[in-house]
Amino acid sequence: MKGLILKDFYNLSRQNKVILAAIAFYIVFSVLNKDPALFGGMLTFLMGMQTFSALAYDEKSKWDKYALTMPVSRTDMVLSKYVLSGILLFIAFAANLIFMIIAGTEPMQALTIASSMAGIGLFFIFVMLPVLFRFGVEKGRFIIMLIFLTPSLLALIGSKMGFEMPDESFLRLLPLICVIILVISGIVSVNVSLAVYRKKEM
């Protein structure tokens, strides 16, 4: 699996200049808006999209067909993408945390914000990967847009309809609820991806 992840990093790092430019842009944008969290959000999203790019590169070069002729199992192929995502999101989390502390955010708050963003990023990965494994990058791109548009639309409609804020006890339990949701969605995601990929004909 080490080789697989290394290959992804080589592929992604060749895009170095574009990513560094994007990061520089977001830093500036964030500072101008006096909102350190903005940088974190954009960076997390950027890292999430890197996994998508990694899969796109694989598809373009028909890597999977070749990789499976090597001592690599289908399970390795699937898990390596989760591990890659984990590494990328961790980088985003660390960079975000450091940036916010430097920008003067109180450490505990910074940790909370950075963790929440990493959590959201992880959830995005958990939803995205099974879809991409099943439908490939081209069709998958479209399906993912729909999936992420839906909650945004619902939130928009919800806010227009004037829903009340949930009460305090619910809010206190929220972090625990989120962690539970994350763990469950992670388990479901990995299992669905494995099931899909094992049946795939190359």
Q: With CB under 8 A as the contact rule, which of the stretches 7-15, 16-24, 101-109, 146-154 interacts with another protein?
A: 7-15
Q: With CB under 8 A as the contact rule, which of the stretches 3-11, 30-38, 116-124, 163-171 interacts with another protein?
A: 3-11
**Is 104 an interacting residue with respect to another protein (CB under 8 A)?**
no
**Is 71 an interacting residue with respect to another protein (CB under 8 A)?**
yes
Closest-CA residue to 129 (of 95, 90, 86):
86
**Residue 110: CB partners within 8 Å, gap ≥ 6?**
97, 100, 101
Burial of 201 (0-12, 13-18, 19+ CB in 10 A): exposed
- Computed on alpha carbons and rounded to an integer, the radius of gyration of the chain in Å comes to 18
**Is 137 an interacting residue with respect to another protein (CB under 8 A)?**
no
- In the complex with another protein, the residue whose CB is nearer, 74 or 115, is 74
Q: How far is the CB of 132 from another protein (least distance, A)?
A: 17
Cβ neighbours around 164 below 10 Å, total: 5
- In the complex with another protein, the residue whose CB is nearer, 30 or 81, is 81
**Is 4 an interacting residue with respect to another protein (CB under 8 A)?**
yes
Token pair for 60: 């373009």
Residues 31-70 that bind another protein (CB under 8 A): 57-58, 60-63, 65-66, 68-70
**Is 17 an interacting residue with respect to another protein (CB under 8 A)?**
no
Residues 163-202 that bind another protein (CB under 8 A): 199, 201-202
Reduced to 3 states (helix: H, G, I; strand: E, B; else coil), residue 73 is: coil
**Residue 202: CB partners within 8 Å, gap ≥ 6?**
64, 65, 68
**Is 20 an interacting residue with respect to another protein (CB under 8 A)?**
no
Q: How far is the CB of 171 from another protein (least distance, A)?
A: 46
Residue 193 · residue 130 · CB < 8 Å = yes
Using CB under 8 A, which of 3, 151, 166, 175 touches another protein?
A: 3
Q: For CA atoms 179, 147, 55, 71, give the dihedral sign.
A: positive
Q: Give contact residues for another protein (rule: CB under 8 A).
A: 1-4, 6-7, 10-11, 14, 57-58, 60-63, 65-66, 68-73, 199, 201-202
